[in-house]
Structure 1
C-alpha cells in the first residue's frame, strides 16, 4: 500500500525497457497514484497497468 509523502523507487516499462527512479507519492486513489520527483511534471500511474512493474520504499525513507 502506498503512503502519501513517502518516497518510492517506482519501476516502470517505458520504451520497451524497464527502468526506475525515485518519486514521492502525492495522492492515492487506488489503483491510481500521483507521483512527483521535482524535476519532471507530476505523473499519474495506474498500478494495474502492465507497464507498472513494482514499487519499493526508497532507501532515503529507510534511513529516517
Structure 2
C-alpha cells in the first residue's frame, strides 16, 4: 500500500498516531509522519482507520502503482 500525508493540510491532531502507533508518529513540529521502515504501512490493519480518523483528511492510502 502507499501512504501519503499532505503536510500542507495536516494540523497535527495526532489521531493517526493514536489509531495506528506502529505506523504513524509526530515530528518535532507536531505534524504527522511515518515511522522509519513503515512507509508502506507494514501490513498494519489500522492504517485505514488512521486515515479515516484524520479530522482534515490529510492522509491518503492507496494501492501501489503497477
Classify the TM-score, shorter chain: 0.3 to 0.5
**Higher percent of residues as strand:** 1
Bigger CA radius of gyration: 1
Structure scoring higher RCO (CA < 8 A, sep ≥ 6) equals 2
TM-score, normalising length from structure 1?
0.32
TM-score, normalising length from structure 2?
0.32
